[in-house]
Amino acid sequence: MTKSKFAVGPVFVIAIVLALSSFALAAGQGGPIEEPPVQGAAAMARAQECGMFGTVNAVGNDYSGAYVSFEMSNGVIENYTVGEPETLLLERFEVSGFGYTSVQTGGALVTVSGAMGDIYVHNNRPSILHFTKASQAATIVTIVMAPGMTAVKAAGSNNFDISGSVEALAMVGNGTTQINGSVVTVSYASASGSFTMRVDQQSGDGLRAQVQRMTLDGGLAGEMDIVAAQGGSAQDGLCYNATTRMTAEAAGNGTLSLRVQAEYSHGMAFRIGTDYDTIGAKNADAVRAKLDGEKMKRVSAGELVQYQAENRAEAAYCVESSGLGCDVLVYVPHFSEHVVTIESAEASSIPALPAVATVVAIVVAAFAVAFRAKRSR
């Protein structure tokens, strides 16, 4: 796993599952801004079949899904198990003075609320665990790692890596990290703050490994998985900056259209995951991408990283198959507002379904990760 490339800056995380309308990310810190009735059940099932995200099941204090399982009592999370191999990552995750008030489960998201803030657990491929500090009171987050797991603090940062039978990165916003054996504490003063843990999905130089490294480096503006099925859609996404918006405008019948908005002076990348049925493609070779209706250049994952490192003026994309679907990594060279279209080489002429049966919750929180200096030049 790539080490010690963290820096500091604003990052925003969104948890998006099922919805009634297309969405945009709101700037600022907070919790769910919308909770319509869950729809798009067929699309949700398809997303899990494709290995993207899935429904969380709750029985008493036990919560389980395809990618995460844990117990929660009075706001304390225990036995945090991740991935389809069901690997124990954390023995305990606890926020001091949390003041537990409620828990809500909807689609792929579990929201644990308290006076100190909110904890969000995502039943998605990277098994994301996120805490948003809303109270101005000081607090300490205690993370007790499972046996065999080791935490290493990134140089010059309060972020840290976890390694063992699985690997993960932890991004800390406005907190101070201390590591003592298997126990990690993050202290927050009287200000806003956050914590996000993301499990690594792939070693080597594949697209998912590049996405994890981009997350570390601050080069990823946002990511979204979206599936359309039987007239509805389901999606799960993340945006990593307060200025970033990702809006699903159309999905299905041979095409996927996303509106992206951001304020950057340099090129940024977006990851888009979908299944082949949604875009009408037979395989990864048949996937094409456009930016504002213009064809983009297809490159390898390594070449796309080089595009960004050199801040090139040409848009580009790469594609990697992931079973029944694919990941598309898109490099956008300049920003204001753009439309990214993912479709097959033989794109259907049938109009795509409007993205209407989508998003149960959008969670926004401020924390960590900015560009290394050379990217800001």
What are the tens digits of pLDDT across the range 24-44? Answer: 222 233 222 233 334 588 999
Q: Report how far residue 47's alpha carbon sits from residue 351's, in angstroms, rounded to the nearest whole number.
A: 22
- Domain hosting residue 259, numbered range: 219-372
pLDDT for 268 beyond 80: yes
Question: What strands, in cross-sheet order, belong to the sheet with 183-188?
Answer: 57-59, 62-64, 68-73, 76-82, 87-95, 139-145, 183-188, 175-180
Would residue 324 count as lying in a domain?
yes
Averaged pLDDT, 321-348: 88
Would residue 151 count as lying in a domain?
no
Would residue 112 count as lying in a domain?
no
pLDDT reported for residue 85 = 82
Averaged pLDDT, 155-176: 90
Burial label, 52 (beta-carbon count in 10 A; 0-12, 13-18, 19+):
buried
Averaged pLDDT, 332-358: 69
Averaged pLDDT, 78-98: 95
Helix axes 301-309, 207-217, angle to 10 degrees: 20
Task: Let me know the angle formed at the C-alpha of 335 by 333 and 339, rounded to the nearest 5 degrees.
Answer: 90
pTM of the full structure:
0.78
Q: Report how far residue 365's alpha carbon sits from residue 270's, in angstroms, rounded to the nearest whole number.
A: 19
**Do 248 and 225 meet the contact criterion of CB atoms below 8 Å apart?**
no
pLDDT reported for residue 323 = 83
Would residue 163 count as lying in a domain?
no
Q: Report how far residue 178's alpha carbon sits from residue 170's, in angstroms, rounded to the nearest whole number.
A: 13
Q: Report how far residue 201's alpha carbon sits from residue 213's, in angstroms, rounded to the nearest whole number.
A: 11
Give 206's Cβ-side CA count (13 Å radius).
Answer: 11
Q: Report how far residue 341's alpha carbon sits from residue 106's, in angstroms, rounded to the nearest whole number.
A: 28
pLDDT reported for residue 239 = 77
Question: Looking at the 3D structure of the chain, how many domains does it have?
Answer: 1
Would residue 313 count as lying in a domain?
yes
**Range of weakest confidence among 23-32, 199-208, 359-368:** 23-32
Confidence of residue 205 (pLDDT cuts 50, 70, 90): low
pLDDT for 320 beyond 60: yes
**Range of weakest confidence among 74-83, 109-118, 244-253, 315-324:** 244-253
Would residue 281 count as lying in a domain?
yes
Q: Report how far residue 282's alpha carbon sits from residue 303's, in angstroms, rounded to the nearest whole number.
A: 24
b/e 157-181 (16+ beta carbons within 10 angstroms → b):
bbbbbbebebbbbbbbbbbebeeee
pLDDT for 257 beyond 60: yes
Q: How far is CA 298 from CA 22, 192, 220, 326, in A?
A: 28, 41, 18, 14
Confidence of residue 96 (pLDDT cuts 50, 70, 90): very high
Which tokens hold the place of 52?
Answer: 């993207």
pLDDT for 207 beyond 80: yes
pLDDT for 132 beyond 60: yes
Highest mean predicted confidence (pLDDT) among 192-206, 227-241, 267-281:
267-281
What residues contact 177, with CB distance under 8 A and at least 6 apart? 153, 158, 159, 160, 184, 185, 186
Which residues on adjacent β-strands are paired with residue 93?
77, 143
Would residue 227 count as lying in a domain?
yes
Would residue 208 count as lying in a domain?
no
Confidence of residue 191 (pLDDT cuts 50, 70, 90): confident
Q: Give the dihedral sign, CA 125/195/368/363.
A: positive
Confidence of residue 242 (pLDDT cuts 50, 70, 90): low
pLDDT for 289 beyond 60: yes
Q: Report how far residue 305's alpha carbon sits from residue 179's, in angstroms, rounded to the nearest whole number.
A: 32
Confidence of residue 64 (pLDDT cuts 50, 70, 90): very high
pLDDT reported for residue 371 = 30
Highest mean predicted confidence (pLDDT) among 125-134, 184-193, 284-293:
284-293
Which tokens hold the place of 207?
Answer: 């697209």
Picking from 170, 94, 90, 95, the residue whose alpha carbon sits closest to that of residue 133 is 95
